[in-house]
């Protein structure tokens, strides 16, 4: 599950992620039927930094690789950094790092025999040398390893994981609204297109991301994850977003900077 958010603004990149891991356990009832019981842990690390690169990563989807000796995504980062170091002095672009990341985790996936489990996905964000604005790429292990760039020539926001509350907020409608409207009203494809266009024009949340200062982008990304986690506490179903919101920025001048991230502390 999870919720990962990346905002690309004129002053920099903002990465935010929740901290919840969901484990689904199958329990047999007295009548012989089985039910799936979710268990939640709220201290997972989903926001990661590559120490020797001006790059940050947020992960969502599959929480760990391996069944008997599971390892979270962040647990592989030292090995991935060593892998990049072994490549020598080759200066990789953000896209190049994303491609290496996908291949590296795909190899770990195969070694652990993960098969057709829920994919482990990543948003990789950072700056290429000499460029004024950041870049954001997405890769998904095991099958979508070719980095897909998000909003190359525009400032925008991308969210992944459990985004249905964000989609309602930003689009003014639930994700399945079009499907429901077409089915209930027997709309043609042309009518659906007209309806979608009207909704986008009249219901979309008017946030001018190209004009947001970095602090406002931090506030927005943090709010979106925190809002999702809070609303989920009142809803029925898998509450896959929760725990502390980890937030970081990446700028051309200051590189990766942790804004608010978890620290080990005493219980209580």
Q: For residue range 217-235, list pLDDT tens digits in order.
A: 999 999 999 999 999 999 9
The stretch 24-31 carries a mean pLDDT of: 77
Q: Is the dihedral of CA 147, 148, 150, 153 positive or negative?
A: positive
Cβ neighbourhood burial of 115 (10 Å; 0-12, 13-18, 19+): exposed
State residue 35's pLDDT score: 78
State residue 14's pLDDT score: 98
State residue 53's pLDDT score: 84
> What confidence tier does 93 reach under pLDDT thresholds 50, 70, 90?
very high
Q: Residues near 248 by Cβ (< 8 Å), separated by ≥ 6?
A: 14, 15, 16, 47, 49, 56, 256, 257, 258, 259, 261
State residue 184's pLDDT score: 96
In angstroms, what CA-CA distances link 258 with 87, 90, 94, 154, 264?
27, 26, 19, 24, 15
The stretch 76-99 carries a mean pLDDT of: 90
Give Cα 209 distance to the centre of its chain: 19
Range 224-229 contact pairs with CB under 8 angstroms and sequence separation of 24 or more: 224/3, 224/5, 224/16, 224/159, 224/166, 224/169, 225/3, 225/5, 225/16, 225/17, 225/18, 227/165, 227/169, 228/3, 228/18, 228/162, 228/165, 228/166, 229/3, 229/18, 229/20
Above 90 in pLDDT, residue 48?
yes
State residue 83's pLDDT score: 93
CATH class of the region 3-260 = alpha beta
State residue 154's pLDDT score: 93
State residue 89's pLDDT score: 59
Task: Name the residue ranges covered by the structural domains of the chain.
Answer: 3-260
State pLDDT tens for residues 169-180: 999 998 899 999
């Amino acid at each position: 599950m999870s919720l990962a958010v990346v905002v690309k603004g004129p002053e920099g990149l903002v990465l935010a992620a929740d901290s919840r891991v969901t484990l689904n356990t199958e329990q047999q009832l007295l009548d012989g039927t089985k039910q799936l019981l979710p268990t939640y842990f709220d201290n997972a690390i989903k926001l990661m930094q590559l120490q020797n690169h001006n790059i940050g990563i947020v992960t969502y989807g599959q929480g760990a690789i391996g069944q008997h000796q599971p390892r979270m995504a962040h647990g592989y980062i030292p090995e991935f950094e060593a892998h990049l170091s072994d490549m020598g002095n080759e200066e990789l672009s953000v896209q190049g790092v994303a491609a290496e990341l996908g291949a590296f985790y795909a190899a770990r996936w195969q070694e652990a025999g993960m098969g057709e489990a829920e994919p482990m996905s990543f948003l990789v964000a950072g700056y290429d040398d000499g460029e004024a604005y950041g870049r954001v790429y997405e890769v998904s292990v095991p099958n979508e390893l070719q980095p897909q760039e998000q909003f190359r020539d525009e400032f925008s926001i991308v969210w992944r994981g459990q985004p249905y509350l964000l989609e309602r907020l930003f689009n003014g409608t639930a994700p399945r609204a079009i499907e429901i409207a077409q089915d209930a009203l027997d709309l043609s494809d042309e009518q659906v297109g007209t309806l979608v266009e009207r909704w986008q024009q009249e219901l979309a949340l008017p946030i001018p991301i190209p004009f947001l200062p970095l602090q406002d982008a931090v506030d927005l990304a943090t709010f979106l994850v925190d809002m999702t986690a809070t609303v989920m506490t009142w809803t029925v179903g898998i509450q896959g977003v929760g725990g502390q919101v980890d937030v970081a920025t990446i700028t051309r001048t200051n590189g990766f900077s942790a804004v608010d991230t978890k620290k080990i502390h005493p219980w209580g």
